[in-house]
Amino acid sequence: MPQSRAVDPGRLLVLLLSLVWLLARLPVGYEAAVVVPPRGVPALAAHHSTATVAALPCTQSEPPEAGYEDEPGVDSADSSDEPAAAAPVVPANRIGSDPLHTYNENLWRAIHVPQRAPRVHVAILDGPVRDDHPDLPPVVHIAPRERPADGSCGGEDCCPRALPAAASWHATRVAGLIAAVRENGIGLAGLAEVGELVSIDTRIDGAGGDLRLAAALHCAIAYRGADGAPLRVVNMSLGTQVPPRSNALREALQAASDAGLLLVASAGNSGADIARLPRWPASFNAEAMLTVEARRYDGALSKNSNSGFGTVDIGAPAPERDEGPPVCSTSVASAHAGSAGCAGDYAHFDRTSAAAAIVSGAAALVWRDPRYADCSAVQLRQVLLQTGRYCRYGTDPGQAPVCMLDLAFLGDPLSPAAGLCSRRASD
């Protein structure tokens, strides 16, 4: 007759302790997105995902550039120079992975689902993107002229094309996260394969910065690619708390939103509430605009990121180096040694500039999925908002939560998110 096996109390205790340890590591205070959509937009059931987001670690940094996200005196201190002790060094041959791959198999699978819809054109309003980077697609350069109220530019072309005298490391890193070339045997891969990558030179430091940004937005509205198609995504990883001198910037932002462009702005890096201390362009509220805060990989707000319920819309992973492995992206050539996996033509990129670039790339990627190809900018904005997770909630019950970007729905053939584009946003 077979004998029963006694349970080993010691083994049972080890299993219980292991379970307690795993439960303790789960993030606390965040939930999957359940967003109440605005009137006229169909509701989406909560979408739960196990995806977290990842980066290739790197320790290289550059001095700040005037007028951009890391400029002291405009909105933030420059990137931290503290070593990333918690970030493992990735061998150079691993840089061929996506910048968000190493710690996120689910997201990696989502962004590698073959997409059949046409590529969309994306603009970067920043300094000039590096024109000769071996890991970036061809870049169209535009140098906007400031325009009077009548938009005449003195009879000259308001948006002339011209190669820049010098590339911006900041703009080049934004470009890499959005559109670094895939399957080319070098470097890294951006979030999306884009149609045309348009670099619109936009310097906002000093007097008249709001007018220069307005001029750049008008160039984005007017742009048409070689295929005759307009831009779909406009990245603005820049900003200032200096109030606009006129209505020109507000009117340009509204015109761009009305023209069907998805505007993506960084929230800034002062640890401020920009719902109370406005920042431009991030604090401008438009139907087709997303203001982006920076998150850690566990979903918590990055320590220096601006925030503001009712003004900030979405978060994306771009931790500082003492918060987790930083994102690696394309950059200008540099003599800095960096880490083994992110040096030379590559460098780390963090904070809200990187977070906004990630959301811009995600938008371009989603538009390439046939289920979402016909989304308007307003509808695509809702898709990204309602498929997020790690949501932060304000004290006012009427405020929408701010959730972290999560692209896991792209790999789900039955995702209800596709229903958000099944009717016009104004229905």
Q: What is the pLDDT along the chain (427 residues), one digit of tens a residue?
A: 545 445 565 655 555 555 544 444 444 334 333 333 332 333 333 333 333 233 333 433 444 444 555 433 333 333 333 333 333 333 333 344 455 554 455 556 666 777 789 999 999 999 999 999 999 999 999 999 988 776 778 888 999 998 888 999 999 999 999 999 988 888 888 899 999 999 999 999 888 899 999 999 999 999 999 999 999 999 999 999 998 988 999 999 999 999 999 999 999 999 999 999 999 999 999 999 999 999 998 899 999 999 999 999 999 999 998 998 778 899 998 645 455 567 788 988 999 999 999 999 999 999 999 999 999 999 999 999 999 999 999 998 888 999 999 988 988 889 999 899 875 444 4
CB 136 within 8 A of CB 155: no
pLDDT at 153: 86
Tell me the catalytic residues. 126, 170, 353
At the fourth CATH level, the homologous superfamily of domain 30-421 is Peptidase S8/S53 domain (3.40.50.200)
**Strand partners of residue 142:** 161, 200
Q: How far apart are CA 82 and CA 227, in angstroms?
A: 46
> Dihedral (C-alpha) 307, 372, 179, 172: value to the nearest 10 degrees?
-30
CB 357 within 8 A of CB 125: no
pLDDT at 39: 29
pLDDT at 284: 94
**Strand partners of residue 328:** 348
Q: How far apart are CA 347 and CA 345, in angstroms?
A: 7
Cα distance from N-terminal residue to C-terminal residue, the chain: 73
Q: How far apart are CA 145 and CA 158, in angstroms?
A: 5
Q: Where are the domains of the chain?
A: 30-421
Q: Please give the structure tokens belonging to residue 223.
A: 């742009």
Q: How far apart are CA 52 and CA 25, in angstroms?
A: 13
Q: How far apart are CA 406 and CA 382, in angstroms?
A: 13
